[in-house]
Chain A
Amino acid sequence: MKNINRLSIYSGLSYKICSCILVCTMIVLSNFLISCETHFDAPPYVVPSATWQSNTTILELKTTFNNNLTVIGKKANGEDYIIKGKVIGNDISGNIYKNIMLQDATAAITIAINSTGLYNNYHLGQEIVINCTGLTIGKYSGLQQLGAESSSGSVTFMELPIFKSASQLNGMPFQTVDTLSMTIAGLSTSSSSLLTDQSQLVVFKGVHFEDGGQVNFTANDQRTTRYLLDANGNKLAVLNSQYSDFATKILPKGVGNVVGILSYYNSAYQLLLIQENNCYDFDNSDVDDNGGGTDDGGGNTDMSANTTILELKTQFQEAYTTIGTKSNGDAYIIKGVVVGNDVENNIYKNLILQDASAAITIGINQTDLYKSYPIGQEVTINCTGMVLGKFNGLQQLGALSSSNAMTFMDYNTFTSNSEKGSTTGTIDTIKIDIVTANSIGSGGDNMLKYQSQLIQLSSVKFKEGGIENFGVSSANTNRILENSDGSETIIVRTSRYSMFVDILLPSGTGNVVGILSYYTPDSQLLMRMATDAFGFTKLKSSRNEYVSQ
């Protein structure tokens, strides 16, 4: 066979070397090429430098085009309108949306741009030169701004690429800007003030938030208006967005300073916070919001009680009555201390008010009432116009539903007809026994005297003490409290939403405090919090925690 020749040809060493070299070269070459393709150097940062020169102040621009909508043309001398300013407000926290605010020595202006994340390129303190010729300027609900024309002929956001081609960044950001010191009382909506003040970066010193320390920046996951007040009760609206990163934080308590953008909406200024640290130096003090009285709503500016709760309850014992005026024409005004509320969610949408004579349940259509009306809060209420009636035997203040049944009154109705006093009012805990507690029925002296009262039952024991929890999360629960020999019992009712629902009922003998309520045909004790049961031989939650006593 001719195989011999073939073997001789390729076995030669020279051929070996040749093919080896060929392969190795290819491998080396390709490896080199691979590493070439993926290595990317970071390009150096070039500090931007604007080439355009400004020839107009922001105030001039706003004054020249002080109307609802115009497309900016050229100046009289043929030049474009070019302004220059620094960014004083942007969307860094999410509170401001698709806007930046620009400030120069004369005024400030809002610029509406259809993009989120504007702060990434337009940081606070960044100087920008803008060629306004060709852009649209106008007013949206009174706020003058640069933007675009919407299909309905009003001002809307301009597209980001359009803004980019009309602007030049100049220098590094975070340069200092001017913060104008203002007072709420000194705010003016005169046309000249609007031009200089709208969209400006302002600071208000010595101001406090209404409900500071009690409510969040936004409520119910919606855009919310809060109010800043000065010492004289002058108010400024503060608009907070649910998308800001401080939306669920609590409003600062006490008196402090607030920085923000002075925005404008429908004939009134509103403050826009840029970030959470715009509220600073708050002293955490208790502020009395009753001075000024512009937020009290109807009737008398000076409310002083002229009726006891017992008198009120005695007077209106029907199924329901709308309280009128007294014979002398005065409103029925009571004053009491909050002894029961929804602090641990066992009581729902009710406040229980107590004075020296008796106590009454007030139904108010609002959750988290305890935040504004903590236990111990003194309240004076003008009851005229409210409805006093009975719901399944429990006498209470409320309103009438469309089908003439007792229901809760609106929160606004309550707040506008009441005044808060001191938060450390005197509280009386009435000690009675179970027999008396069970006798409050739906009529008679005991009803008037003890229904809704804050009572204490002493030397009692829970029938299921040590066995069951206070409640269950699937339903409202009745627990049995009995006297020492078990001959008398009373219901202790725990809501499924209450915060102590998982705590084990204490075993042994102790004391229980609560609101003495009624639901035909039984009395029921409503504890306000887990610590209303105290002095028991041992108290231990099902989660192995000891409840403080």
Chain B
Amino acid sequence: MNKFTSLLILFIVSFTVSAKGEDHIRPYKSNYGKDLNFSLITISNSKSTIASEIQSSTEKEISITGSVIDAMSSQPIPDAKIIVEGTGITVTSDYRGEFKINDVPPGIQEIIITAPGYSSVVKQVDLSGKTIFSLGVISLAVNINPYADDEDGIITFDEDLFDDESGSNQTIGNLSGSADDLYSRISGFAFGVARYRYRGYDSRYTDVYINGLSFNDPSRGRFNFSALGGMNNAFRNKDGVTGMDMAEFAFGNIGGTTNIETSATKYAPGLRASVGYTNRNYNWRGMVTYSTGLKPNGWAMTASAIARYAHEGIVPGTFYNSYGLFFSADKVYDEKNTFSFTAFGSPTQRGQSAASFEECYKLTDNNLYNPNWGYQDGKKRNARVAESFDPSATLNWYWKPRDNMRLNTGIGFRYSSYATTALNWYNAQDPRPDYYRRLPSYFSDPSLKEYYTQQWEHNVDFRQIDWDSFYRVNYLNNYGNSVNGTDKGSTYMVEKRHSNQTNLMFASTLNTDLNNFMSIQGGISCRWTKANYYKTVDDLLGGEFWLDIDQFAEQDFPDNPNILQNNLNNPNNKATSGDKFGYYYSIYNIITTAWMQNNINLPQWEIYYGLFLKNYTFFRQGRMKNGRAQYNSYGKGQKNQFINGALKVGGTYKLDGRNFFSLNFMAENNAPYFGDAYVSAKIKDDVIPNLKSEIVYSLDASYKFSYKNLKGKISGFLTNFSNQTEISSFYHDAFQTYVNYILTDVKKSFKGIELGLSYQIIPDLKVTAVGTIAKYQYKNQPTGITNYENGSKPDTTQTVFLKNFYVGGTPQIAWNFGVSWKAPKLWFFDINLSIFEQSYVTLSPIKRTEEAAKFQLEGESLSEMMNYYDSKIKAITHQQKLKGGAMLNLSVSKLIYINRTNSLSINVSLNNITNNRNLQTGGYEQGRFDFSNYDENKYPNKYYYAQGINVFANIGYRF
């Protein structure tokens, strides 16, 4: 309730603030004269933008001016982007819609004017013999293409339908990318359903900034976009580059870089509200955004609120409750200084789903079968409920001492809380419904097989969690306590695993021109993080307490009462609801960076190079003394420090105004993130042996062409990773205990080709084709370390034979073909087809070791035995390819103008019209392997399937 109240207060305050200066209406232009001629300082790409002052230009420098308005209402459009094609020059319009571009090369140039929610306009100009060229007033028409990154955008910010194995949820869609890059724009929304990752990279290689402050999570490096709460309107101002292209606000990364700008002056004034219905992970969405625009007194304010809700999503047993608030206020002090404050947060609570076995999907005849829920007293209850809330705030000072020089200095605060529940049990059978011993496949006796099949098909308490049975067992424990004087706690309970972070950030970024053709960018930043990890008792399910010991250590060391303690400072603790138990530790982390880059922009060439330095330091503070690591778990741990550097260099050759050839190269080393550095952070302070920074080399080359009706880009890329580590934890059958399995010195190679093509058949009819063909592979035989969680044995090492196996979880071939038609009377139609192939399951390492090859050879001669060996080893190490397929999507939109300024937009999107439910969007091999019988089918893979036909219907009102 607290976070809700504080956000509500914040929201109400915002209205009060904006109420100032509303008392009288003044046309800002006529009565204030020069006093109000402040310019809006924007932190966008290269060259400066000043509204009304005319700068004197030297001989070869040409300036272009103009203003951008809404075609229907004639209102100015602030923050529209004006791009001089092929020169890398981009400016944005100010709060009056006006712009000025300086230092434009002479000759024929193509100017593209674009703004979110509007159709782009292209103007070709001949600048010979001019010093100042005025484009005049440019009218933009509203474009309600839902696949454009517009205010009522539908797809980009929702979580994936399924969480992955660890309960985390990687981004879908590509957040970064420049507005005019067709490949990144379309791949972002079209490929998300297949869990596409840009160039196969983990999302930690994509840097996301908010107002110049880095918001990638420090523990694993990934950006948690669900913190944005789906508030597309509030976060629509994005500046970014695809891949390794040069950005002006950051050094960048191989997967692209985006800066989300929430400065209140960037929003067109007005109120927008929308209501939508969908049948995915939520059903209803309501969103409202209000902006004041820049007021005469120099203040601007924007606020937005959203709610998304489903009692039950499309996946059975899941629910969704999320709302969000956003507030931004700017004070333009004078033409050189602007202060900007932003705060936002989105508390979300949702019931999760999980991957399951093919056998379960077949038995239930439902590819969306979810093992995480069951009936309790007639109501559906989910055992895996995730709660997240990431309230954040930024405060920026934008300083522009002169033209062509900008300094953005900001501080930020983020408190992130994330918790997920899970079942836990003591001395009882595994209660999960898809536990392998409860599946018909476990039995060889045909009558038993048939019996279990019947149970799965007809008994819902059998194929889902039987909550009522947990309560019965716990009540009997209580009864036994009262009758026999015993002291038993719960046998079944629900625990809640928390990971909370406090981040404090500081960054300062400079962007300045040295002369007409050279500019430099640079910056420093510092980020302090405290991350807390612990678990609490969420629900004792009718029992009296939960005994805090490790039952696996209890079974392996029956005589040692110390080793099974999770907290020797509070042994045999009887935890009750809300108590911390199991583990409790903090990680402290400081990241400091410094970077610079130099960009040289000549008529025929553009060249840049950059350097980056980072210091990444962290240590663990244990808050419980674990019995399995008595001397190494409690208190301050060892400090780990890494110094990293990166170098990048690249350039573009401009053949003429229409054909461009680019090359980018980056070499970097990256410290291991603290979330991945420890062998078992819940128990002890040990980091992975030989912990070191990974090394990345990446190269890409592209050819881009831009003709009147045909535009396209083809790229090739190659990225090599080495010194990587991967950790997984699972129950190891050979040793009958839990292990942490660490792969070290992993080498990977990612290479491929991307194509983006768009052809305008007639002015209102456009055809696009976008796709990639790539290979993401392991390239060596890394070392695997088995670490026994209960400390019963020392670590053992083995070689893992992974060479040329695929990095799983993303399609290596993905294509999208689309046709869009802007029909008369403000109708809009779009139909597109996506094709996904060559996605593989995520690997389990222990199947690919010599130990897994020690099966009995069958045969009566040596050659028979060798033959048997070859085919069996192939079967054991086979990496399953996911079922690919195609998806057809259709979208229809209509825009209705009530009057000049008020409009209603209606959009209906139908995805997967052919109801293809056989597309596997993800899957993974289980960590376990059958070391007794070497039966590769004993622990089958788990899969996720795509949803069938789904809809999103949205009505938006704008006034």
- Chain A residues with CB under 8 Å of chain B are 1-11, 15-16, 19-20, 22-24, 26-27, 29-31, 33-34, 37-38, 40-43, 45, 115-117, 120-121, 123, 151, 159, 161-162, 172-174, 245, 247-248
Contacts and interface: CB of A to CB of B under 8 A. Distances in A.
Nearest to B4: A31
Interface in B1-24: 1, 4, 7-8, 11-12, 15, 19, 22
Contacts of A41: 377
B75 A173 contact: no
A120 B428 contact: yes
Contact of B455 (A120, A161, A248): A161
Contacts of A24: 8
Contacts of A5: 901
A40 B381 CA distance: 8
Contacts of A151: 444-445
Contacts of A16: 15, 19
A19 B271 contact: yes
Contacts of A116: 429
Contacts of A6: 73, 75, 269-270, 901
A159 B429 CA distance: 13
Given A10-B270, A120-B491, 18 more contacts: A4-B27, A5-B901, A7-B269, A16-B15, A20-B15, A23-B305, A27-B4, A37-B319, A38-B385, A40-B379, A42-B542, A43-B377, A117-B428, A117-B429, A120-B427, A120-B473, A120-B476, A123-B480
Interface in B453-479: 455, 462, 468-469, 471-473, 475-476, 479
Interface in B375-404: 376-377, 379, 381, 385
B376 A40 contact: yes
Contact of A27 (B74, B323, B475, B542): B323
Contacts of A115: 429
Nearest to B287: A26
Contacts of A38: 349, 385
B333 interface: no
B462 A29 contact: no
A121 B472 contact: yes
B75 A22 contact: no
Given A42-B471, A117-B429, A172-B479, A247 B269 contact: no
Contact of B349 (A4, A37, A247): A37
A43 B542 CA distance: 9
A154 to B, nearest CB: 14
A43 B475 CA distance: 10
B439 interface: no
Interface of B: 1, 4, 7-8, 11-12, 15, 19, 22, 25, 27-29, 73-76, 269-271, 273, 286, 288, 290, 305-309, 311, 319, 321-323, 325, 347, 349, 351, 376-377, 379, 381, 385, 427-429, 444-445, 448, 451-452, 455, 462, 468-469, 471-473, 475-476, 479-480, 483-484, 491, 539, 541-542, 558-559, 900-901, 959
A233 B73 CA distance: 109
A116 B551 CA distance: 15
Nearest to A31: B4
A93 to B, nearest CB: 11
Contacts of B7: 27
Count chain B CB atoms within 10 A of each CB in A1, A34, A45 and give the residue with the most: A34
A262 B74 CA distance: 96
Nearest to A244: B558
A20 B13 CA distance: 12
Contact of B271 (A10, A31, A245): A10
Contact of B27 (A1, A26, A42, A159): A1
A174 B74 contact: no
Nearest to B555: A243
A24 B14 CA distance: 13
Contacts of B475: 45
A38 B479 CA distance: 27
Contact of B321 (A15, A33, A161, A173): A33
Contact of A117 (B311, B427, B900): B427
Contacts of B445: 151
Nearest to A41: B377
Nearest to B445: A151
A360 B710 CA distance: 105
Given A8-B25, A43-B468, A159-B451, A26 B305 contact: yes
Contacts of B4: 27, 31
B471 A43 contact: yes
Given A1-B29, A10-B271, A31-B4, A26 B471 contact: no
B29 A247 contact: no
B543 to A, nearest CB: 10
Contacts of B900: 2
Contacts of A33: 309, 311, 321
Nearest to B288: A23
A115 B1 CA distance: 44
A9 B959 contact: yes
Given A19-B288, A42-B541, A120-B491, A29 B484 contact: no
Contact of B559 (A37, A173, A174, A248): A248
Contacts of B307: 26-27, 29-30
A175 to B, nearest CB: 9
A3 B483 CA distance: 81
Contacts of B444: 151
A174 B473 contact: no
22 contacts: A4-B25, A6-B75, A9-B901, A10-B271, A19-B288, A26-B286, A26-B288, A26-B305, A27-B8, A27-B11, A27-B323, A30-B307, A30-B321, A33-B311, A40-B376, A115-B429, A121-B469, A121-B476, A123-B480, A151-B445, A159-B448, A173-B476
Contacts of B19: 16
B416 to A, nearest CB: 18
Task: Please provide the 8 A-B residue pairs with the shortest distance between their CB atoms, ordered closest to farther.
Answer: A34-B321, A30-B307, A30-B323, A45-B475, A117-B428, A26-B307, A23-B305, A43-B377
Contact of A174 (B471, B472, B480): B480
A9 B12 CA distance: 21
Nearest to A37: B319
B15 A15 contact: no
A2 B306 CA distance: 31
A2 B75 contact: yes
Contacts of B76: 1, 3
A19 B75 contact: no
A5 B491 CA distance: 69
B309 A30 contact: yes
Contact of B558 (A3, A26, A117, A247): A247
Contacts of A37: 311, 319, 321, 349, 351
A249 B672 CA distance: 47
Given A1-B29, A10-B269, A117-B428, A31 B323 contact: yes
Contacts of A34: 321, 347, 349
A3 B270 CA distance: 12
A172 B475 CA distance: 10
Contacts of B12: 20
A245 B8 contact: no
A14 to B, nearest CB: 12
Contacts of B29: 1, 3
Contact of A30 (B11, B15, B322, B472): B322
Contacts of B462: 161
Given A10-B270, A19-B288, A26-B305, A3 B476 contact: no
Nearest to B319: A37
A472 B71 CA distance: 93
B952 to A, nearest CB: 19
Contacts of A31: 1, 4, 323
Nearest to B348: A34
Given A19-B290, A38-B385, A120-B476, A3 B75 contact: yes
B856 to A, nearest CB: 21
Contacts of B376: 40, 43
Nearest to B542: A42
